[in-house]
Amino acid sequence: MRIRGNDKITAYLDKSEALLDLHPQPADLTNTHRYDDLRLEIGCGRGAFLSQMAEANPNVYFFGVEKFVPIIARAAALAANKELSNAHFYKMDITNALTIFPEHAFSIIYLNFSDPWPKRRHEKHRLTHARFLAIYKKLLRPEGWVELKTDNEMLFDWSLHSLHHAGWEVLEQDRKLSGEAPIGRENEGRYKKTEYEARFRGLGQPIFFLQAKPPVN
């Protein structure tokens, strides 16, 4: 993977040191107890979504996870530039999440414009595959849910099938998510645009959205 801006990584890392764990250990959530809830974005990219959400919801603590140092460094540097105190970032693979975060820690998990892995032989890499859904179920609070946004209709339809097969309840689905938030709902994740979403909407592509919660047992 070729990532632009690699020459700036050191500056990003220096700027974001307090907000970024490159070699994660089990998370200490002691300082998050004063927040109403905790939320997690998996594959947070350059951090535009997470920083917008943290800025708009100061009573919520947000965690971002990303596998690649150049990308997660930019995300954390953006949050540091905004002087956000309710955001933290981990360079890690989500398969290791249960070694870092305690079970039932999060009220919402966000999957924004995840890699669709279009080839059938790569299905197990899609973030709505059953092996990942099992992890999310353990990470979510009993009343919690997952939100997915994508421009890829194949991934959306496949995710609906995967969720159904795993016993999840799809609470809401929208095949043409509005780019404008209704009054009073501006701070919801579905209406905060990632870098990808802004680009896709500019090209006139529909944005697909779903919200789903895991089975009780």
Phi/psi of residue 134, nearest 5 degrees: -65, -35
> Residues with Cβ < 8 Å from 19, sequence gap 6 or more?
76, 79, 80, 84, 87, 88, 89
Which of the residues 115, 151, 157, 174 is marked catalytic?
115
* Tokens found for residue 36: 């109403």
Where b means 16+ CB within 10 Å and e means fewer, 86-98 reads bbbbbbbebeebe
Q: What angle do CA 153, 191, 107 make, to 5 degrees?
A: 90
Q: Is the dihedral of CA 45, 103, 36, 61 positive or negative?
A: negative
Q: Distance (Å, rounded) from C-alpha 91 to C-alpha 132?
A: 17
14 is catalytic: no
Token digits of residue 141: 């609070």
Locate 166 and state its tokens: 């795993």
**Which of 42, 1, 214 lies closest to 127, judged by CA?**
42
Q: How far is CA 101 from CA 41, 65, 90, 206, in A?
A: 13, 11, 11, 34
Query: Would you name the residues annotated as active-site residues?
Result: 115
